[in-house]
């Protein structure tokens, strides 16, 4: 009889298991299975010391040293997992690749009468599973991809329609970035692995919907890349282009980017990254406007001299164009199109 029962990622997800991550707090914060609990076997410093012993004295000595470190806290670990199990029902423990950490935790819990399985292959197996699953899901989905010049309120439109119950995935929201040179101001991006997992989670929520509305993006959002299966689905999706007047776009951009919430230096640092593209004359003009806090004029200059030109080059040719007189009309245009496309 095996001391520790093992289950696959597929079984854990299909049978509604809750996940317990046994890696360090720092590893967990970088990426984890969405919704997982963190009950670390080691601290980051302890893990480093165990690795050092392993490389200097070998596996046997490293295991003995690890036991010396975790021995005093095993009772706390088992108690915490017991409480999670009592609260959630079925739980499974995992580490990076189904190695010693999850095995040790599952074994000591089972010996203490708290029977928990461990995840075969750990987080690495989960990641491979969700990327494959994403590709399978997207074969049967139609994506409606919303394009429009900077400031058209595309992200706002998505969030309004999501609140109304339409199938929407907000890529920029998941990525923690607004998708432009100024898009990271005031935001923090997750790791690539965490972004992929969050995107998979959103896709699973919409598994019964025949189509999904997303915003047209470049392949890269800040430092993150849209996973290949999702990107390919966007490329073959229906493309809708909505444009509103420049005055409306300036107003929306001022609010969405939190203009005036940060000192001019923050915007100037971002501006410096596109100095070569703007050219000296335009760069100096916009820089002066920011320094004088004449933000509406600075935003208008950026739109006309940078964003609109950039967007025109990156927008697909096969879009369905719509011109709206206001943001509210743009919302109606997209809503009507989506209702028809997904009907």
Averaged pLDDT, 225-247: 94
Residues annotated catalytic, as ranges: 95
State yes or no: pLDDT of 289 exceeds 50: yes
Whether 65 and 195 map to the same domain: the answer is: no
Whether 219 and 117 map to the same domain: the answer is: no
CA 290/CA 275 separation, integer angstroms? 14
CATH for 150: 3.40.50
CATH for 98: 3.40.250.10
Whether 160 and 265 map to the same domain: the answer is: yes
Whether 119 and 182 map to the same domain: the answer is: no
Whether 148 and 185 map to the same domain: the answer is: yes
* Tens digit of each residue's pLDDT (9 = 90 or more) over 116-143: 999 999 999 999 999 999 999 998 889 9
What integer pLDDT is reported at residue 228 of this predicted model?
Answer: 94
State yes or no: pLDDT of 250 exceeds 50: yes
Whether 331 and 212 map to the same domain: the answer is: yes
Strands 224-225 and 220-221: antiparallel
pLDDT grade for 334, boundaries at 50, 70 and 90 = very high
Q: How far is CA 211 from the centre of its chain?
A: 20
Mean pLDDT score across all residues of the chain: 90
* Tens digit of each residue's pLDDT (9 = 90 or more) over 155-168: 899 999 999 999 99
CA 110/CA 232 separation, integer angstroms? 45
pLDDT grade for 8, boundaries at 50, 70 and 90 = very high
**Which residues form the domain of 20?**
6-128
What integer pLDDT is reported at residue 327 of this predicted model?
Answer: 93
**Overall domain count for the chain:** 2
Whether 148 and 222 map to the same domain: the answer is: yes
What integer pLDDT is reported at residue 182 of this predicted model?
Answer: 62
pLDDT grade for 81, boundaries at 50, 70 and 90 = very high
Q: Which of these, 122, 114, 128, lies nearest to 98 by C-alpha position?
A: 122
Whether 67 and 110 map to the same domain: the answer is: yes
Q: In the chain, pLDDT over 70 holds for what percent of residues?
A: 97
Whether 107 and 162 map to the same domain: the answer is: no
Whether 150 and 97 map to the same domain: the answer is: no
Whether 17 and 42 map to the same domain: the answer is: yes
Torsions phi, psi of 151, nearest 5?
90, 0
């Amino acid at each position: 009889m095996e001391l520790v029962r093992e289950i696959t990622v597929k079984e854990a997800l299909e049978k509604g298991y809750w996940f317990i991550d046994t890696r360090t707090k720092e590893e967990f914060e970088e990426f984890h299975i969405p919704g997982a609990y963190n009950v670390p076997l080691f601290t980051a410093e302890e893990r480093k010391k165990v690795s050092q012993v392993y490389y200097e004295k070998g596996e046997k000595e490293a295991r003995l040293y690890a036991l010396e470190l975790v021995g005093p806290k095993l009772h706390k670990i088992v108690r915490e997992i017991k409480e999670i199990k009592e609260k959630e029902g079925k739980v499974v423990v995992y580490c990076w690749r189904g190695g010693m950490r999850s095995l040790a935790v599952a074994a000591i819990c089972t010996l203490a009468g708290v029977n928990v399985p461990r995840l075969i292959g750990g987080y690495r197996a989960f990641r491979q599973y969700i990327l494959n699953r994403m590709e399978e899901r997207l074969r049967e989905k139609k994506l409606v991809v919303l394009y429009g010049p900077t400031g058209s309120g595309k992200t706002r439109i998505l969030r309004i329609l999501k609140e109304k119950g339409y199938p929407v995935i907000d890529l920029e929201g998941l990525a923690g970035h607004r998708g432009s040179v100024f898009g990271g101001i005031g935001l923090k991006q997750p790791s690539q692995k965490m972004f992929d997992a969050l995107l998979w989670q959103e896709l699973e929520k919409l598994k019964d919907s025949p189509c999904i509305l997303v915003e047209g993006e470049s392949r890269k959002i800040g430092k993150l890349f849209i996973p290949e299966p999702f990107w390919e689905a966007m490329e073959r999706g229906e493309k809708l282009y909505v444009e509103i007047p420049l005055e409306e776009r300036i107003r929306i951009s001022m609010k969405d980017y939190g203009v005036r919430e940060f000192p001019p230096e923050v915007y100037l640092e971002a501006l410096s990254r596109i100095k070569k593209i703007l050219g000296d004359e335009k760069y100096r003009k916009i820089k002066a406007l920011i320094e004088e806090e004449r933000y509406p004029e600075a935003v208008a200059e950026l739109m006309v001299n940078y964003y609109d030109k950039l967007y025109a080059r990156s927008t697909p040719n096969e879009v369905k164009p719509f011109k709206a007189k206001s943001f509210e009309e743009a919302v109606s245009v997209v809503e009507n199109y989506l209702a028809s496309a997904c009907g």
